[in-house]
Structure 1
């Protein structure tokens, strides 16, 4: 997808957000800062300014280390990386950048995928889970060189964690993947946001994507009735029977049956991005863009020199049973914008972004402004 079309897609999301806000007489705005924001503590927030586009986050089993997906871009022209962040020592360490030539001893993905992605490796959505044999599996949406789900094994979790590449599952042509969630028995679920050939002026009322189920036996198959507009984040219940899927272009989070695709429930959340389980797996945490923005605003956010993307956001908590929503964090003056993911670890909230040099750490035990 060309950058113009990507930016237009983001702008289209904000068309839906603005329309909903106007209907409710709710003001929407871009954040109050310019993007040239100093890396200083503000109220109950602390910016951690040594990352590159930390679009998605996962918590390691030790509960003391974050795995960070440093986003390159949607069309595979800019490489990214997977990095570890030690919460206690506040140190960042490279986990995987695609330049490993070590061949795996076993393959978890398609039989036809035998080689690592290489230096064009560009990660996006990630999901960390335990396989049936107890080993830790990291799934990564990847855009560089191929549109794929990359499989990694997380090892040495009690010492210095490492990632071993375990293969991939290559998506069909004309597919732009976004997020991934592990199912049962080696299955996974992934969202197709739209086609790579989609035009910026495509009919916003027509479905642009769907949910895929992948298994080693049958490859990628559509989940029935999962079509919708601008699918984004996805999370799966522990038993793999229920999916929580973000339909950004519809301002909805849908709870669907993983087999039949039946919509069990839905909640209106403006311009949602990623959705993740909290560290205790009791609630779902989602990021929501709350401001209005144009293609030019998002173009500024793709600038390599910009430390902060000046788009307002909130982090919301959803009850997995009722999908009742509660705001966890909202502060348009905080030293980071365009939050795409929230990871709740006890009383601390870590927030990532698709564009910027920082993760925002929020101490929810302290009062904010």
Structure 2
């Protein structure tokens, strides 16, 4: 199957494959003052995933837009809220660990979807990004935060197997990573299964020198967000279709599985907080309404942000918003100081809500 050139999230991907498209002429919002609910960061199109870079004042957002030539990343200064496109350097050589990578994608053949950071020592880290533009792949960058602005230098890629519909990514020990597959690209009924809450996806793992394998016990409904426990012994996966958080043991046979009901929300990305909780954002609407909102400049459906204790698996609601012409369809949430920052798969803003104590 030809790789897609325009994907804002796995949800938008499904719609694109069935014939619909994002509006290519949607205007950026250049004047978006605070309202009674939130403050906003403007002119950030489809910031589907967010990550706060540890021990810095910087936030990096995925940048999936239509046309895709505007894709990449956004860099946001958390102190001022100033946001600007972040252009990686694609001139770097391919690292030996990624020897099967066909080469750098080029600035017009890359649009970041799910993102994650593998932290190193000091100011040198690695950033992983799911890419749908030109090829279905995970692109890997060196992330240097030693200067006035962080810099990204491309170092390699891993093209996903034909069946994998990549969404979110999480690095694992040994230099590998895991990717959620929202559906199965080779299954013509994968969308119907996801809509019905049936099994449609799985989690795939890539390891250096070993290649790809399916993680046992991870066949869920529209696998979306992914995170690992601090000790690497448990995997957390959101099922967008069945509205659950799935917890699977790693390195054990037989594996163990727990499912946590998340309520009336289709959970999207997962991000760990400094205190170890799992922050999950998702859309609070019927699937048909969520899909329909991609035809608008801004998704207006309601959304929720919840926190889950990874040990007790207790669920704490943090935000329950109706959605509006300003912002809706949340897909990611992070904590920045005393605020919850929320991204969306279809819109021109990042919303900033005060954290209620």
Gaps of 5+ in 2: 16-28
Answer whether contact 1:213 1:221 (CA < 8 A) is retained.
yes
- Give me the whole-angstrom Cα distance separating, in 2, the residues matched to 1:254 and 1:117: 33
Instruction: Kindly provide the CA deviation profile for residues 144-195 of structure 1, in whole angstroms up to 9, marking residues without a partner as x.
Output: 1111111111113453210011101111113210001111121211111112
Q: Is 2:283 aligned against 1:286? A: no
- Give me the whole-angstrom Cα distance separating, in 2, the residues matched to 1:107 and 1:246: 33
More off after superposition, 134-143 vs 165-174 = 134-143
Answer whether contact 1:62 1:158 (CA < 8 A) is retained.
no
- Tell me the residue number matched to 1:218: 210
- Tell me the residue number matched to 1:25: none
Q: Is 2:26 aligned against 1:39? A: no
- Give me the whole-angstrom Cα distance separating, in 2, the residues matched to 1:63 and 1:117: 28
What's the offset of the Cα at 1:264? Answer: 4.0
- Tell me the residue number matched to 1:319: 309
Secondary structure of 1:54 counterpart: coil
- Give me the whole-angstrom Cα distance separating, in 2, the residues matched to 1:318 and 1:348: 17
Q: Is 2:267 aligned against 1:275? A: no
What's the offset of the Cα at 1:299? Answer: 3.7
Q: Is 2:182 aligned against 1:190? A: no
- Give me the whole-angstrom Cα distance separating, in 2, the residues matched to 1:6 and 1:328: 23
TM-score normalized by structure 2? 0.83
- Give me the whole-angstrom Cα distance separating, in 1, the residues matched to 2:209 and 2:128: 18
RMSD (CA atoms): 3.1
Q: Structure 1 residues 188 and 293 mapped into 2: Cα distance closer, same or farther (>3 Å)?
A: closer
What's the offset of the Cα at 1:107? Answer: 4.4
Q: Is 2:103 aligned against 1:111? A: no
- Tell me the residue number matched to 1:155: 144
Task: Pick from 160, 166, 172 the counterpart of residue 155 of structure 2.
Answer: 166
Task: Pick from 240, 243, 257 the counterpart of residue 248 of structure 1.
Answer: 240
Answer whether contact 1:60 1:67 (CA < 8 A) is retained.
yes
Q: Is 2:132 aligned against 1:143? A: yes
Answer whether contact 1:126 1:141 (CA < 8 A) is retained.
yes
- Tell me the residue number matched to 2:42: 49
Instruction: Kindly provide the CA deviation profile for residues 216-271 of structure 1, in whole angstroms up to 9, marking residues without a partner as x.
Output: 11111111121122100001122322111111111110111123482442211231
More off after superposition, 248-257 vs 259-268 = 259-268
Gaps of 5+ in 1: 11-35
Secondary structure of 2:241 counterpart: helix
More off after superposition, 128-137 vs 348-357 = 128-137
Q: Is 2:344 aligned against 1:353? A: yes
- Give me the whole-angstrom Cα distance separating, in 2, the residues matched to 1:333 and 1:139: 30
- Tell me the residue number matched to 2:19: none
- Give me the whole-angstrom Cα distance separating, in 2, the residues matched to 1:183 and 1:281: 20
More off after superposition, 139-148 vs 353-362 = 139-148
Q: Which has the higher contact order (CA 8 A, sep 6+)?
A: 1
Q: Structure 1 residues 205 and 69 mapped into 2: Cα distance closer, same or farther (>3 Å)?
A: closer
Secondary structure of 2:174 counterpart: coil
- Tell me the residue number matched to 2:112: 123
TM-score normalized by structure 1? 0.81
What's the offset of the Cα at 1:43? Answer: 2.6
Answer whether contact 2:300 2:323 (CA < 8 A) is retained.
no
- Tell me the residue number matched to 1:301: 294
Q: Structure 1 residues 133 and 144 mapped into 2: Cα distance closer, same or farther (>3 Å)?
A: same
What's the offset of the Cα at 1:358? Answer: 0.3
- Give me the whole-angstrom Cα distance separating, in 1, the residues matched to 2:179 and 2:163: 15
What's the offset of the Cα at 1:202? Answer: 3.9
What's the offset of the Cα at 1:362? Answer: 1.0
Q: Structure 1 residues 188 and 132 mapped into 2: Cα distance closer, same or farther (>3 Å)?
A: farther
